A and B are shown apart, each in its own frame.
Chain A
């Protein structure tokens, strides 16, 4: 446990002055624009409407794309400067190193959710929505569920990024798989099993009544799929990483 915390600390230091992280700002910025342009009225449902409108862009595109970028980032500095051979010669197990990278990716996704939430609140206030009507519990559920739904993708992208000694390639691949999201979320068959669509499905679904296409599936089913695939991808990544020759 102590070495694990140490490894996570070490990863945190490596993120300093990482300009790539600045990309994460594009997400809230564009979502703000969409939010500001929307017509909400003053109904009690206005907060939910605003949230749903802003989620569309955030969860459908930015969340999966940023997850891929974060995963690529934590491998990039190892690929670039010959870091793998250095950290793998340190007295820590490969399991600890790999999972600490995963924790960092997950934390960045979580941070991104918090940032998104802040922009929703900000837009709502600008629009003059009633603060006392904010459905905190509902929003909290959606944000948390959206975060959890990113974990399989985070695990998958971390695996690909650790394996592929290129920074751009795994990210491009990730974007390519994100683009069909709009179609995939409408498919009851593929939607729930498509890691890039899961954040959208879950964020729409959690605490709300939104049911067409894959949105109609019970949340529990989705979460089981998500939990299961996270585990599979992490284990696959660990298996690979433990054998990785450097």
Chain B
């Protein structure tokens, strides 16, 4: 149970009989930017609302900082900053007054207001009523509010939703510096894989309320990517040699295609093939895009659970995922 900032066990929330979140096991290690990825309606916001105690789970456990959310909600929330779904603000107040409403409850030093406004780049507009802000500015004010209490954990629900590209870039850079500069652990949800790929160090993929993948970003990329394609003479014969080497390629358009083999294996295999007088034309690594993997994962998860294990393609994926 140690070193996890957030850990959930079989977290479940049902709406009208269907599970918005279904037996979710989330583990978020300290110091990570955890990308919580899933298509719209997957259950990201519902999960986050349960983490903050805004709604009560039907069953399951939430532990944060090794404390039970049910028992120690207030002391947990003291260490968490959050932004759920869209930014909250009081339109008739300016940014400073907005932050002041939160500051008085958090009981932190007044200087924090200047600091967080500076962090999100709102110092110049701090005295304007927030109702005149653009969505991006409101979003930044939301992040400023979340940072006000110097949290150890930052929970951001689709913080770049609805922003223009430059706004997205700004927020992304802001999030990326959190663990480095302030040692903050970040949970950031998104329905965009590319976005998660660009900022997260670990990933959880949720679909229809279920966690279908949870691992580090490099592992996801590894699993998504790299098939080794070898084009060579007499591919059928080469298949046998590959098997003798303990590799099990598939044959496609006179190419041997290997999944998940490491450098050492490739080196030995190529040597063996050359020894056996095959002409090797080309050895190339082809990366399946994460996008494809994501699609396959969510599609597979959609078509009944069981079939994943049986379908050959899905089975391959599943095994990789399980590694």
- Where the two chains meet, the residues of A that have a C-beta atom closer than 8 Å to any C-beta of B are 2-3, 6-7, 9-10, 13-14, 16-18, 77, 80-93, 243, 245-246
CA A9 to CA B100, docked complex, whole Å: 9
Q: B residues 100-121 with Cβ under 8 Å of A?
A: 100-102, 104-107
Chain B residues with CB below 8 A from A89, complex form:
52-54, 77, 80, 82, 84
Q: Is B54 in contact with A88, judged by CB distance below 8 angstroms?
A: yes
Report B139 CB to chain A, min CB distance, Å: 12
Q: Is B77 in contact with A90, judged by CB distance below 8 angstroms?
A: yes
> Contacts A17-B93, A91-B74, A91-B75 given: A86-B106 contact, CB under 8 Å?
no
CA A77 to CA B80, docked complex, whole Å: 23
Chain B window 48-85, contacts with chain A (Cβ cutoff 8 Å), 1 for yes, 0 for no: 01001111100000000000000000110110101011
Q: Is B86 in contact with A16, judged by CB distance below 8 angstroms?
A: no
Which residue in chain A gives the minimum CB-CB distance to B54?
A246
Chain A residues with CB below 8 A from B179, complex form:
none
Q: Is A6 in contact with B107, judged by CB distance below 8 angstroms?
A: yes
> Contacts A77-B90, A81-B89, A89-B82 given: A13-B101 contact, CB under 8 Å?
yes
Chain A residues with CB below 8 A from B129, complex form:
17
Report A245 CB to chain B, min CB distance, Å: 4
Q: Is A80 in contact with B93, judged by CB distance below 8 angstroms?
A: no
CA A71 to CA B89, docked complex, whole Å: 19
Q: Of A9, A17, A86, which is within 8 A of B92 by CB?
A: A17
Q: Is A245 in contact with B54, judged by CB distance below 8 angstroms?
A: yes
> Contacts A16-B93, A17-B92, A77-B92 given: A93-B74 contact, CB under 8 Å?
yes
Q: Is B90 in contact with A90, judged by CB distance below 8 angstroms?
A: no
Chain B residues with CB below 8 A from A88, complex form:
52-54
- Where the two chains meet, the residues of B that have a C-beta atom closer than 8 Å to any C-beta of A are 49, 52-56, 74-75, 77-78, 80, 82, 84-93, 97, 100-102, 104-107, 129, 145, 149
Q: Is A80 in contact with B101, judged by CB distance below 8 angstroms?
A: no
Q: Of B49, B87, B105, B145, which is within 8 A of A91 by CB?
A: B105
Q: Of A2, A91, A93, which is within 8 A of B78 by CB?
A: A91
Smallest CB-CB A-B distances: 8 pairs = A86-B88, A82-B88, A91-B78, A91-B77, A245-B55, A9-B104, A10-B101, A10-B104
Report A47 CB to chain B, min CB distance, Å: 40
CA A246 to CA B92, docked complex, whole Å: 22
Chain A residues with CB below 8 A from B53, complex form:
88-89
CA A88 to CA B104, docked complex, whole Å: 14
Q: Is B104 in contact with A13, judged by CB distance below 8 angstroms?
A: yes
Chain B residues with CB below 8 A from A7, complex form:
104-105
Q: Is A82 in contact with B87, judged by CB distance below 8 angstroms?
A: yes
CA A80 to CA B80, docked complex, whole Å: 24
Report B188 CB to chain A, min CB distance, Å: 16
Report B156 CB to chain A, min CB distance, Å: 12
Q: Is A14 in contact with B54, judged by CB distance below 8 angstroms?
A: no
Which residue in chain B gives the minimum CB-CB distance to A243?
B56
> Contacts A6-B107, A14-B90, A91-B106 given: A85-B74 contact, CB under 8 Å?
no
Q: Is B55 in contact with A6, judged by CB distance below 8 angstroms?
A: no
Report B189 CB to chain A, min CB distance, Å: 15
CA A90 to CA B73, docked complex, whole Å: 10
Chain B residues with CB below 8 A from A9, complex form:
104
> Contacts A81-B90, A81-B91 given: A13-B106 contact, CB under 8 Å?
no
CA A77 to CA B129, docked complex, whole Å: 14
Q: Is B97 in contact with A13, judged by CB distance below 8 angstroms?
A: yes
Q: Is A86 in contact with B102, judged by CB distance below 8 angstroms?
A: yes
Report B48 CB to chain A, min CB distance, Å: 10
CA A82 to CA B77, docked complex, whole Å: 18
Chain B residues with CB below 8 A from A93, complex form:
74
> Contacts A85-B84, A246-B54 given: A90-B100 contact, CB under 8 Å?
no
Chain A residues with CB below 8 A from B89, complex form:
81-83
CA A92 to CA B53, docked complex, whole Å: 12
Report A94 CB to chain B, min CB distance, Å: 9
Which residue in chain A gives the minimum CB-CB distance to B86?
A82
Q: A83-B88, A245-B56 are in contact. List 14 more A-B contacts (CB 8 A).
A: A7-B105, A14-B93, A16-B97, A17-B129, A82-B89, A85-B49, A85-B54, A85-B85, A85-B88, A89-B53, A89-B80, A91-B78, A91-B149, A245-B49
A-B contact pairs, 6 of them (CB 8 A): A6-B104, A14-B93, A16-B92, A77-B91, A91-B78, A245-B55
